[in-house]
Amino acid sequence: MKRYSAFAIAREAARWHMGWERAWRSPTPKAKYDVIVIGAGGHGLATAYYLGKNHGIRNVAVIEKGWLGGGNTGRNTTIIRSNYLQDPSAAIYEKARSLYETLSQDLNYNVMFSPRGVLMLAQTHHEVRGYLRTAHANKLQGVATEYIGPEKVKELCPIINLDGPRYPVLGALWQPRGGTARHDAVAWGYARACSDMGMDILQQTEVTAIRQAGGKVTGVETTKGAIACDKLAIVVAGHSGVLAEMAGFRLPIESVALQALVSEPIKPCMDVVVMANTVHGYMSQSDKGEMVIGGGADGYNNYTQRGSFHHVEETVRALVETFPMISRLKMLRWWGGIVDMTGDRSPILSKTPLGNCFINCGWGTGGFKAIPGSGWGMAELVARGEPGPLTAEFGLDRFREGRFIDESVAAGVAH
């Protein structure tokens, strides 16, 4: 793989950009792999990348029924933060946030990480108490956050209205090293690095069955034929329940749509991410000038990847009070992604009833921010067959044992 650099750009400019090679290969499937990862979204590609980088396992196939990054990875609002309440959550999200800081250098691919900071508004006295508690917990966890007053909020985000008649801004939980990244670039960067290590990324290849013998997975049936493997990792977000059913076990999750939209592009007016749980919305400004707006998940189970007018109206109406200027903007486009929600709103990274099958799911509305940490922990789980420090608390057995990691406030509404 040729490295990207300023010198490479200059060289290719001199020869009319005719020397660029494809970012990743489109190979024919082999008969067998050491590991098959189902799902070529951010989490699946990161799992494959860290299997190769950290554990030397490179005979890996990443199978995707659609196109690379065409699921939730390409349909989210790119927020990155780690200020969660519970210790296991803070650990894996902080690992992810720290990996994002150097991800462009690690992958030799610009993922456009922007540590612009994340504000989580407190608009009720209950939220003030909750965020003060989180700030204290984060301090003990080594996560750099602080609770700030409304004057500091206004300084960081001048377009905000502090004195809304229903929900005034009383303060905010501020994580200055949170931010955003380019979602497509994250997937493309991981794919390019995986392909360079000799891994096969098989797009337009749907898994139709999971082959088993003696309580273990022996391979998968796909639309391109049967492929054998020694280990299987299921990393398919909203369709996790479908794949689990193929493998013969059930998951404590439900799948719902999460919707978002962007406005027409305008001049720069907001250089932080703002999340407002009480009014059920969040907003940032993209590099192209669009206001990226999102809200909560649908209230009913579904597998749609489209937006709905009533949800757009509800989200924008909620945000107009806090950001009056958006009332004058036109919507450019809107979309939906399928998220899988657990009862405690925390993910599952776990062994399964099949001895050599592992699953990564249940990230709900907060999957993008976790991609590097999720891949790091999942790769360790698959390589060693046992959970490591990042994933030990996120096993399936916690639901049977009642060891919930309750992030319903931190993850159930905000992102």
**Tokens matching residue 129:** 């108490």
At 411 the pLDDT is 47
Q: Which CATH class is domain 118-178+255-342?
A: alpha beta
At 415 the pLDDT is 47
At 184 the pLDDT is 95
Helix ranges (DSSP H) in 221-305: 240-247
Domain borders along the chain are 27-109+183-253+344-412, 118-178+255-342
Q: What H or E segment, with its residue span, contains residue 14?
A: helix 6-14
At 410 the pLDDT is 55
Q: What is the DSSP string of 287-344?
A: TTS-EEEEEEE-SS-----S--HHHHHHHHHHHHTT-GGGGGPPEEEEEEEEEEEETT
Query: Dihedral of CA 39/91/254/294: which sign?
Result: negative
Across the 415 residues of the chain, what is the mean pLDDT of every consecutive 10-residue run?
Answer: 88 90 92 97 97 98 94 91 95 98 97 96 94 96 97 97 90 97 96 97 97 96 97 95 94 92 95 90 94 86 80 85 92 90 94 96 93 98 96 95 82 45
- Condensed to tens digits (0 to 9), the pLDDT of residues 361-379 reads 999 988 999 999 999 999 9
CATH topology of domain 27-109+183-253+344-412: FAD/NAD(P)-binding domain (3.50.50)
Give the type of residue at 123: Q
CA distances from residue 334 to 127, 304, 372 in whole angstroms, order as listed: 29, 13, 26
At 279 the pLDDT is 81
Question: What's the CA gap between 126 and 129, in Å, rounded?
Answer: 5
